[in-house]
């Protein structure tokens, strides 16, 4: 049986690896090959993943930069400690350098007292703290052969990366493939939990925007990538948006 506390690194597509760590390998950081032999990290996982992702990435090439899908605690965790430039969307700058979006979380919507108590403690445990941003990106910018896509709602500056050639979408928390109240993967995409969404209606609209791309591979911020026929993936993403 695999050790649920040990990180794993696996190839997702040409020039792309998923490093999954923290409990049950539930947090994803993507390693992207650069033309010069270095690598870019996309998303920042949790603070406890810092040395694991550093070692995994440097087996492929020296780390050039980290691009954050967004600045929440479980997505900026490694960023302050790696010693490389941190990039994020221009609309995510203040939260990445600030409280990580904590000010708009609505813990009172969580269904149990246990979750309302534990989530603030988890976020504090996961967080590496504010990260100084060296450069910002916006929709249409190019990173490692991918196009930046802006998917606001869960966070104001949430971004994904889209590669047309193999229809790969690396999407951070544009969609959840986990049940965040039960801490376990699910078999279908969902809109991110409204507790953590800056604008829930906008998060639904961004999921429809992702669906319209008709990705063949949906690489989320948590759990394993979703592989499938592009038209089928569009359908299940649209159904997730319909569920809200």
Question: Which residue ranges make up each domain of the chain?
Answer: 8-243
Residue 1: predicted pLDDT: 46
Query: Residue 135 phi/psi, 5° resolution?
Result: -155, 150
Q: By the 8 A CB rule, do 80 and 130 touch?
A: yes
- Enter the pTM of the model: 0.97
Report the pLDDT value the prediction gives residue 227, as an integer from 0 to 100: 97
Write down the residue that tokens 């299940």 correspond to. Answer: 236
**CA 88 distance to own-chain centroid:** 12
Assess contact for 91 and 157: CB atoms under 8 A: yes
Q: What is the pLDDT of residue 24?
A: 86
Q: Which of 74, 3, 62 is nearest to 34 (CA)?
A: 62
Half-sphere exposure of 66 (CA within 13 A, CB side): 28
Q: What is the pLDDT of residue 2?
A: 57
Q: According to the model, what pLDDT value does residue 3 have?
A: 65
SS3 91: helix
* Helix, strand, coil share of the chain (percent; to 5): 30, 30, 40
Q: What CATH architecture is 8-243? A: 4-Layer Sandwich (3.60)
Which DSSP category does 241 fall into?
Answer: H
Per-residue pLDDT of the chain (244 residues; tens, 9 = 90+): 456 668 999 999 999 999 999 988 999 999 999 999 999 999 999 999 999 999 999 999 999 999 999 999 999 999 999 999 999 999 999 999 999 999 999 999 999 999 999 999 999 999 999 999 999 999 999 999 999 999 999 999 999 999 999 999 999 999 999 999 998 999 999 999 999 999 999 999 999 999 999 999 999 999 999 999 999 999 999 999 999 9
The whole-number pLDDT of residue 4 equals: 64
Task: Check residue 237 and give its pLDDT.
Answer: 98
Q: What residues contact 14, with CB distance under 8 A and at least 6 apart?
A: 166
- Dump the DSSP string for 15-81: TEEEEEESGGG-EEEEEEE-TTS-EEEE----GGGHHHHHHHHHTT--EEEEE-S--STTTSTTGGG
């Amino acid at each position: 049986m695999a050790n649920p506390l040990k990180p794993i690194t696996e190839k997702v597509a040409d020039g792309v690896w998923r490093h999954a760590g923290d409990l049950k390998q539930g947090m994803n950081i993507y390693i992207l090959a650069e033309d010069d032999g270095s690598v870019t990290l996309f998303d920042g996982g949790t603070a406890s993943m810092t040395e694991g992702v550093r070692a995994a990435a440097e087996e492929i090439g020296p780390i050039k930069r980290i691009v954050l899908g967004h600045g929440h605690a479980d997505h900026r965790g490694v960023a302050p400690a790696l010693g490389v430039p941190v990039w994020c969307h221009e609309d995510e700058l203040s939260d990445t350098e600030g409280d990580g979006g904590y000010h708009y979380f609505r813990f009172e919507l969580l269904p149990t007292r246990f979750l309302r108590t534990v989530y603030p403690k988890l976020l504090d445990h996961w967080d590496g703290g504010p990260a100084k941003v060296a450069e910002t990106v916006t929709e249409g910018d190019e990173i490692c052969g991918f196009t930046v896509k802006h998917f606001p709602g869960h966070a104001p500056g949430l971004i994904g990366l889209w590669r047309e050639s193999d229809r790969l979408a690396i999407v951070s928390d544009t969609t959840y493939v986990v049940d965040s109240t039960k801490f376990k993967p699910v078999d279908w995409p969902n809109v991110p939990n409204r507790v953590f969404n800056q604008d829930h209606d906008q998060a639904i609209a961004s999921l429809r925007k992702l669906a319209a791309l008709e990705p063949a591979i949906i690489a989320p911020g948590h759990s394993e990538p979703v592989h499938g026929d592009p038209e089928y993936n569009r359908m299940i993403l649209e159904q997730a948006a319909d569920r809200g």
